[in-house]
Structure 1
Amino acid sequence: MDCPSEENLIRLALAPISGISTLKFDLGARTVTIEHAGAAESLVDALAPLNFGAQLRESRKIEAGEHGVVVSTIAIPKMDCPSEENLIRMALADTPNISALQFDLAGRQLRVTHTGDAEPLLERLTPLGLGAELTSTERADTVPAMQSRDDAGEARTLRWLLAINGTMFLVEIIWGWISQSTGLISDSLDMFADAAVYVLALFAVGRSLAHKRRAAHLAGWLQLVLAIGAIAEVIRRGISGSEPESVTMMGIGAVALVANIACLILIAKKRDHGAHMKASYIFSANDVIANLGVIIAGALVTWTGSRYPDLIIGLIIGVIVLGGARRILRLQ
């Protein structure tokens, strides 16, 4: 065992075993320390098929109170989508002594099961600018058990989501330019932001933390450039004038709406398989609102004969995408 991909295989091999509370990997020493209930031999048996040469070095009973496992609840007011959840996971990825992360997007809080002090957690989260604040720390009566995941199934779902969002990014930005609609152009960037989340999720499998962060920063810079370009286009057309084609706005907006509903259907089958898939469901649901905003703006352009509904929705979505890019680039 000498790389993150092998660590991931070990986690998968041990996932079906009940009674495991924490896993602590030391890639340098090529060891894993496991806090668990039951016989240690069952762990070795589960690892044997991997052919990593797993051997039991030591097994001892942990005395009451020795493990010192606590649960810290952190309020994160600006956390409401999977791109932000992904940033938080990456920020905490190499923090020692964390055994579980439980995200509550609706309540905008994170529960971290860990040992030691909670301050290092806040030091990692503060640079993200999401307003992280420690609300409580209490001793854990139980430690969340590891859950078995259908990683292959989730990967297939993520690839479909990536294909849908990537295709709609191209469709909306091309037709947005042709129809002079800043609403469609900005909404295409929202699709791009979604696609970037799914690319990072797929890229993260078996990669080191440094690779993940480099990929995140690359996506963040590209998203930043596109968002600034979209906002600049809104300003330019606001000054020089534009004639957005309302029928095209409503038609392409409806296609994007159907695409996001398809994403919701795909994610609905997996949203109980973990916080990431549940967050993706909420994120796509929010995208449906943006699509409806473009369609309504198109209808208002037809009704009023004014270009301003298109400019307003384009500016709103552009600012939202710009904010997401800034948060990605704050990741240390």
Structure 2
Amino acid sequence: MGAECCGQDHEPSKQEDASYRRVLWAVLGINVAMFAVEIGAGVAAGSASLQADALDFLGDAGNHAISLFVVGMALRHRAMAAFAKGATMGVFGLWVIGVAIWHAMHATLPEASTMGAVGLAALLANAASFGLLWAYRGGDANMRSAWICTRNDVLGNLAVLLAALGVFGTGAGWPDIIVAAIMAGLALQGAIVVLQQSRAELDTGKRDLYEKRTG
């Protein structure tokens, strides 16, 4: 992925950094609150997709905290943080696959009403985060990874609502399993995008550092 398409050579101004920090604090608060709500509801309802979505909120909260820490730092440090976040997204995807397999083996039947209510609340929360981060979707890997995480969350929430309808209509747990697998795929796809861009930015940062030392 080239630097031109992703804007990875752009150094944000102090005003842009300050604005991004405010947005990240707001999104971080949303993610922490929704993790607390959704993990309890997911366990109580026996839903693999809700539990997966809750862990996604937790992972995003950690990622946004990292983003806050590196805002304003050199491109190399921001790219290193983005690489760590991309790896975390990949681990999350693999973990969700394991959860889906466990629920499939035990033929669990989640509570469709709880899935629907909590899934709708999560969708509204992520839609707000998505809107806040929209302006930074074309930034460096650190900014873009935060937006990609939230984009995946919105898609995952829509899938959870579809799963709730599927469980309610069929009286079976397989729609919940399918949605959990889809969420795992989204996490893995997002991880690949972020890792690719952060690797390119790390190469750029190393080249710039070398030129400064030898120039």
TM-score calculated relative to the size of structure 2: 0.70
State the distance in 2 between where 1:221 and 1:148 align: 28
> 1:229 maps to which residue?
95
After superposition, residues 161-172 of structure 1 pair within 5 angstroms as 161-172=27-38
Q: Is the 8 A contact 1:189 1:318 kept in 2?
A: no
Find 2:161's aligned residue among 277, 287, 295.
Answer: 295
> 2:117 maps to which residue?
251
Q: Is the 8 A contact 1:182 1:310 kept in 2?
A: yes
Three-state SS of the structure 2 residue aligned to 1:275 is coil
Total equivalences in the alignment = 195
Unaligned runs of at least 5 residues, structure 1: 1-75, 77-87, 89-100, 103-108, 114-143
State the distance in 1 between where 2:55 and 2:62 align: 10
Q: Is the 8 A contact 2:110 2:173 kept in 1?
A: yes
Q: Which has the higher helix share?
A: 2
> 1:307 maps to which residue?
173
Q: What's the offset of the Cα at 1:309?
A: 0.5
- The RMSD of aligned alpha carbons is 3.6
State the distance in 1 between where 2:148 and 2:192 align: 21
TM-score calculated relative to the size of structure 1: 0.48
State the distance in 1 between where 2:180 and 2:119 align: 13
Q: 1:263 to 1:328 in 2, by over 3 A?
A: closer
Find 2:132's aligned residue among 266, 273, 276.
Answer: 266
Q: Which has the higher strand share?
A: 1
Q: What's the offset of the Cα at 1:192?
A: 3.7
Q: 1:217 to 1:261 in 2, by over 3 A?
A: closer
After superposition, residues 95-110 of structure 1 pair within 5 angstroms as 102=4, 109-110=5-6
Higher Rg: 1
After superposition, residues 1-332 of structure 1 pair within 5 angstroms as 76=1, 102=4, 109-110=5-6, 149-207=15-73, 212=78, 215-216=81-82, 219=85, 222-267=88-133, 271=135, 275-276=138-139, 284-325=150-191, 331=199
Q: Is the 8 A contact 1:246 1:299 kept in 2?
A: yes
After superposition, the C-alpha distances for 1:109-146 in whole angstroms (9 at most, x for unaligned) are 34677xxxxxxxxxxxxxxxxxxxxxxxxxxxxxx998
Q: Is the 8 A contact 1:189 1:223 kept in 2?
A: no
Q: Is the 8 A contact 1:180 1:244 kept in 2?
A: yes
